[in-house]
Chain A
């Protein structure tokens, strides 16, 4: 009996900060269920239904890619190039940098071609991604609520624009736990190029009110791949081992007297940290990848490119990391949309394709959900030679993990302005992602500030059934 209550005690900080909303679990079973969160591997809930996806790789195209030059084919807009945007469409709508400017239509700057059996329309800037036409579901009817980068990312990641809420990667790790013994369950990688590098704040992978072990851990391409993961200068691995052993022995002795399960956890965490000191360098060392794989991705080890990050994403997925979030900060094209979309597309096209293809070859695509998209889209109206931020309609694609390939879901109006058919809100997207992971979003809650907080917020969100295989 005694050890069990010890374990109960170990959850006290957690219990204090909130309770898991998993229906009517009786006290004891609920406490025990929560207790299992203390282990690095278990989640806070049992899947509500059979999961299709075990993990998520989110390729965030940060800056807001123009849907009109990437995934949303608008042949009619070509003819309207240079004409004034009808006021009936734009009146009373939020506008970012085009506030108070004349609103003129700019036709798509790149051609589109149909691909695959499905005949999906994909922009010619993606010669590789277009090879995935039959694997991906394109959503052309996304909408969001935030028109500036920072809050829009926050909204996409946390379901609210208020700072301090958990990111989706934290939510998912909290719910499902991590499958990796020696790597964090939520990893973030970043790359730049092709447009102005809008800032990305650490709040985008913060665990908010969830326990901080669910926070995303950023991997860096220069210096320590994970902060503080290298031994101090002048300390070799056996020297570090000796210190860790001493620390753990001291802590065990201490715990003999005070019997605090937090100390047991601390001992486990020192072992985990020590393993990470080996596993992280091993993970980022691409020298064991065959040249043909490097070529397939277009990755050069250590270059910090999106392509290299895609390869790292596959390696992380193989090692059981639950949520892998890549940011490519290069899609903010207020000017020169034609040349710049092509430039950024060129930096992400090969890696994106290679990742999906590689996962497929390894039999991992079926339980890995890959998402490709930004925080918003861009206006059909010209901003000089570029396009401004746009939230009323934009695009993304998803593949694997129970997503139906070869379909285009939803549509914007003829201007590519308003999503009009089968609108998918950010909350709908979250609900769908959670569904694929075996989670009913309405029952996935955490109590904070007196409310049962959900990733999908307070307004009704819907699982987009049409996207499910």
Chain B
């Protein structure tokens, strides 16, 4: 580009040629930088012949009777000889460098040496130059017109009002104007009409969203971590911070400080902490086998690249392995810059846990309520509030103590009361015979599977059932009439119509893979509790104990129905001689009193008088934990606690910066090798050659806040130049310095250095007022001129270096989507919130792993939010947005490429989002009053803000009529077409008409004019 610039201005002899005199920064430095500095520049390591041409001292140095450059004396300048010689061994640059100096460049160098070889500080590192623009004149127009007038040229005519209003909408809001706004604007004939529109749009909440799209590209904001598994990370609050900051016009210096060091500000607000999440946006890894030391290096470099690119338009990142080839950044500068971020607390490898919770107001309130509810529902509080309950509980506790004490003193059997079933049913027609010991012996047919239903009667409280699988001499072996083993698939107890919930099971014996829990997991399947009876004969019966969640009260007598299901694939694994026992004990165990903590047992054994206070309390605490009287209360408490836990989980969270008390050590790594351990350990320091207001404090380590203050400091010329240049690009399509990425030696000199400086000075002097900067630019005539160049202008200035016309371009990916949604009426204008998942082709995430996951498509509003809220997966950017050049957000993107590829046509034609938008747009069109012509005209005007021409009208009407016939003949196709997407269709519209109008609106959405800014 720089070649083009100089060539066009000087070499090609067109109207845009330069004034006399060579400018070092504009004409010479780019040549030297591109062709010479790699070997004769700043980097000491690679410097050849000990000659440097990047400084005056180096170039003019006496090399033993001669010098590379002798000002004003071409013949005496060795460098000149080396450039013009034919000698292959002597010519510079050497042929193998593949960068020969062109004829035009040679002329420039010649002129420069002859004129005295003046060296100047590289333009972007030099202080800002204030040029005083006459009061009342637009700064932009002043400099643009000045340059044009020297060429005898002028701006293009001012554009028409409709185009201007559309341009302003796309530039400031990323949305097309609504018809009523356009109509109102055209109707307002006051001289302030345009100014009012500008103010109106700058105050519009969509302004912040539009600006955020750009800022988020710079800071590489995304919803996933980037490397390897590319898992989700919740940082969307940062996105919302950015939107708010632009909307409230937070001064750019403050915006900068909060992002780099919000956490270090005294009494940092929640917003400032969220802003500091900027430092956590980089790509990170959770890959197994990754090496922490390596990734620390990777993260440090990532931050250096991003911070330097975003704020000062510099490529310090290039100095990771060696001193910078083209700019005076040293490798030391790289590592001392990295050291500023060595205090950011983070997990190097693996999942990063959020360190800020951000409940919504209603969530906060809900959590306060739940905490209060918990306080009131805690058992002591409940008892304190209910004297009766408290008294009853005390009684019950005494009784329990008594019983348990007795149980403890007697043997296990006494706790259990064997019950003989009053009724026994075998689904498989076995014949049950009740035995003397209360067990039930199965006889008769022996089916492969069988379910038993036993009815028991009992009195009072029942808290558990004991099932014994007894041996019998009639069995060939152990517990069943099959191979001796059994599998109890499921054990169920019913009280009336109620299923009794079993809270816990205990078994005397567990066969591998068939634990007792399988017998009450609610699933009748191959698994269950098995007795291990298929081997040798054993000498004990099997016992299983099923403890109810809450004891049942059978009062003076009641029934319990017990079901024993045997549905194992293993044949005839039916329990051959079951026996059931009941207990009222609250502490049932297989061998006596079970599950009692030893200190409770100790306390129970003592009389009330002998217990210490502590023991008394222990008993009470234990009993309140199991008391049947309090079962409901406990359940309630648990459910409230769960609600609170859920509410806490549902809060939005954020990864923010937190300073480590001791920052990580930063070492200069030879050639960037992370395994190098010999390099010097460094502390944070500012890039050595750049100006500063003052040095870092001597009495403590420099920190991110110091860095941020330097970035926005008075003497730093880069920050304002970088931002102004980029804002200009957003409003004209290209920067004043065309390389908006890099203002360094390999960047592009500005087309209008004075303009860039003046805007930068005004920006700083205004208190970094970003909206003010935008307004200053969009109010200019330069901004308001036509984007269609005259024939002569195209010839004189093909790449618009003189800004004698506006730019024209296809909208950014997000705004293409937003435009379609707004036209369809589907757009949900809600601001902020967690990222959303609109339609995305199934399987697009199939290559993600650890864990595998699916795009969980959202519902309702989530399908129709602006593009900037779409979930950003770094590995797989939404394919529709990717087609329109949405960057993957892995690295800083300061200027998107603007491609023109067939995939864009496929998206706009076929992506369900756009088909649905066309369909809903068509509903609006079809519902309009009037004939087909009026409807076509309405549709076209909605999309382009202007009436269609006769030809356009004809194309669209023709399309409608032809498609109407097709869909009238094929209603099923129409139905299928109109079923695309979730938004319901307007049933009042005829099916074929709606489908035909959808074809028309789809064509309109695809038309260049609809999604381009002009």
Contacts and interface: CB of A to CB of B under 8 A. Distances in A.
B901 interface: yes
Contact of A21 (B98, B229, B326): B98
Interface stretch (A106-114, A240-248, A405-413): A240-248
Interface string B303-335: 000000000000100100000011000000000
Interface string B560-596: 0000000000000000000000000000000000000
Contacts of A15: 1, 4, 799
B1003 A449 contact: no
Interface string B1-38: 10110011001100000000000000000000000000
A162 B283 CA distance: 11
B906 interface: yes
B978 A223 contact: no
Interface string B979-1013: 11000000000000001000110111011110000
A32 interface: no
A273 B746 contact: no
A97 B738 CA distance: 46
B962 A242 contact: yes
A63 to B, nearest CB: 11
B879 interface: yes
Nearest to A240: B909
Given A232-B915, A253-B949, A26 B102 contact: yes
Interface in A188-246: 190, 196-203, 206, 209, 211-213, 217, 220, 222-224, 226-236, 238-240, 242-244, 246
A450 B841 contact: no
A329 B905 contact: no
B1007 A247 contact: yes
B50 interface: no
B289 A199 contact: no
A235 B1 contact: no
Given A15-B799, A243-B999, A276 B906 contact: yes
A382 B1000 CA distance: 65
A363 interface: no
A149 to B, nearest CB: 7
A404 interface: no
B891 A164 contact: yes
Contacts of A209: 897
Contacts of B879: 227-228
Contacts of A262: 808-810, 900, 1008
Interface stretch (B139-147, B352-360, B521-529, B950-958): B950-958
B875 A203 contact: yes
Contacts of B294: 94
Nearest to B808: A260
Interface stretch (A4-12, A51-59, A67-75, A420-428): A4-12
A169 to B, nearest CB: 15
Interface in A134-148: 147-148
B910 interface: yes
A50 interface: no
A27 B905 contact: no
Residue of A21, A231, A240, A253 with most partner-chain B CB within 10 A: A253
A148 B876 contact: no
B897 A13 contact: yes
Given A23-B100, A24-B100, A26-B102, A1 B795 contact: yes
Contact of B890 (A16, A163, A254): A163
B40 to A, nearest CB: 17
Given A2-B794, A450-B742, A269 B905 contact: yes
Given A250-B1007, A449-B742, A272 B952 contact: no
Contacts of B923: none
Interface in B323-350: 325-326
A162 B897 contact: no
Interface stretch (B416-424, B819-827, B842-850): B842-850
Given A234-B974, A273-B905, A99 B291 contact: yes
Residue of B745, B746, B795, B847 with most partner-chain A CB within 10 A: B847
Contacts of B285: 148, 150
B952 A273 contact: no
B609 interface: no
Contacts, number: 286
Contacts of B907: 228
B703 interface: no
A227 B877 CA distance: 13
B11 A265 contact: no
Contacts of B4: 15, 19, 27, 31
A442 interface: yes
Interface in B288-304: 288-291, 294, 298
A147 B745 CA distance: 35
Contacts of A259: 788
Interface in B530-573: none
A148 to B, nearest CB: 5
A243 B1002 contact: yes
Interface in B862-909: 874-877, 879-880, 882, 885, 887-888, 890-891, 895, 897-907, 909
A447 B4 CA distance: 13
Contacts of A79: none
A398 to B, nearest CB: 26
B791 interface: yes
B665 interface: no
A6 B291 contact: no
A201 B955 contact: no
State which size class the interface on A falls in.
35 or more
B380 interface: no
B1 A19 contact: yes
A316 B583 CA distance: 77
A151 B875 CA distance: 12
A46 interface: no
B356 to A, nearest CB: 27
B963 interface: yes
B404 interface: no
Contact of A449 (B11, B315, B848): B315
B848 A92 contact: no
A230 B976 CA distance: 14
Given A211-B897, A233-B980, A235-B977, A201 B315 contact: no
Contacts of A292: none
A229 B899 contact: no
Given A9-B798, A27-B11, A228-B910, A272 B847 contact: no
B111 interface: no
B638 interface: no
Given A99-B291, A201-B847, A228-B910, A251 B975 contact: no
Contact of A203 (B849, B888, B906): B888
A242 B897 contact: no
Interface in B761-795: 787-788, 791, 794-795
A83 interface: no
A250 B995 CA distance: 20
Contact of B911 (A96, A200, A228, A243): A228
Contacts of B882: 202
A89 interface: no
Q: Give me the 6 closest cross-chain CB pairs, A-B, nearest first.
A: A450-B746, A234-B977, A96-B289, A201-B875, A234-B976, A273-B905
Given A223-B843, A233-B976, 10 more contacts: A6-B794, A27-B7, A94-B294, A163-B890, A228-B879, A232-B980, A234-B974, A250-B952, A250-B1009, A449-B315
15 contacts: A13-B898, A13-B899, A161-B298, A201-B847, A202-B876, A228-B910, A234-B975, A234-B976, A246-B956, A246-B958, A255-B1008, A262-B808, A329-B847, A450-B326, A450-B744
Interface of A: 1-2, 5-6, 8-9, 12-13, 15-19, 21, 23-24, 26-28, 30-31, 92, 94-97, 99, 147-151, 161-164, 184, 190, 196-203, 206, 209, 211-213, 217, 220, 222-224, 226-236, 238-240, 242-244, 246-247, 249-251, 253-255, 257-260, 262-263, 265-266, 269-270, 272-274, 276-277, 329, 388-389, 442-443, 447, 449-452
